[in-house]
Amino acid sequence: MVMKQLRASGGAWLSVGKTNLYIDPGPGALVRCLHSKPKLEPSTLDAILLTHKHLDHSGDVNVMIEAMTEGGFRKRGVLFAPRDALEEDPVVLRYLRDYLERIEILEENREYRIGEISFSTARRHRHRVETYGVNFKTSPRTVSIITDTRFFPELPDLYGGEILIIHVVRLKPVGDEPIDHLSIEDVKTILQRAKPKLAVLTHFGMTMIKAKPWVVAAELEKELGMKVIAASDGLKIDLD
Ligand SMILES: [Zn+2]
């Protein structure tokens, strides 16, 4: 999906009051920001958050650090990232790290704050690199993001946001293969327990695209009796 750009892979921008946070700047993040209407100006970012270092979540992290700090001329901004994104086989270039005001390491079950945005991590996800989902304590609606993971029994209880964003790659589960992504079956289990006010599906693989994500979402909505939508490129959600 990323390599053919069948869907945009630039991640998400969260704005609360005067605070702007970029989440998972995958390939295309900078271009998508500058081409969006209205334009999202990366030099107004207060922080960038990486849920994990896989390329589809971090491909543009370096150029976004450059853009946030105006090419390093303004030392500013915070990077939140798991330790393995910075140490072993790092995805954040070392010469750029001095441009940042600071780097905060994401760890299990910890609280963080940037400006008007408070958030917490839960337990580490089951994914091949160090990965954390996020619970944003935003107002007037809380938002949770379940980023890449293999399903595990506690997962549905960890993310209680009123708006729940789920990265679902597969339409159907894939047997015993060591696949570290969620399927629609997993999503059903999660939604039945978490009961968000709105579920947003995103991060689709080819089987989801072929099944038409908006059709899959509509079927889930009917079956579960809750609001479920499929993200589309440039989707904007108003927290009000
Ligand atoms: Zn991943």
Nearest by Cα to 131 from 212, 45, 58, 37 = 58
Q: φ, ψ for residue 172 (rounded to 5)?
A: -120, 150
In the predicted structure, residue 176 carries a pLDDT above the cut 80: no
Q: Which tokens belong to 121?
A: 């991590």
The answer to whether 99 and 64 have CB atoms below 8 angstroms apart is no
pLDDT tops 80 at residue 177 = no
Q: Ligand 1 centroid vs 119 CA: distance in angstroms? A: 21
The predicted-structure confidence for 36-77, as pLDDT tens digits, reads as follows: 999 999 999 999 999 999 999 999 999 999 999 999 999 999
- How many whole angstroms from 74 Cα to the centroid of ligand 1? 31
Q: Looking up tokens 């086989």, which residue turns up?
A: 89
Q: How many CA atoms lie within 13 A of 145 on its CB side?
A: 23
Residue 240 has pLDDT above 90, yes or no: no
Distance in Å, CA 62 to ligand 1 centroid: 18
Q: Tell me the pTM.
A: 0.96
pLDDT digits (tens, 9 = 90+) for 122-166: 999 999 999 999 999 999 999 999 999 999 999 999 999 999 999
C-alpha span between 85 and 58 (Å, rounded): 9
Alpha-carbon Rg for the chain, nearest whole angstrom, is 17
Q: Which residues lie near ion ligand 1 (Cβ < 5 Å)?
A: 54, 148
Q: What is the pLDDT of residue 178?
A: 65
* Calpha distance 96→7 (Å, rounded): 29
| pLDDT classification of 104: cutoffs 50, 70, 90 | very high
For 212-239, write each residue's pLDDT tens digit. 999 999 999 999 999 999 999 999 999 9
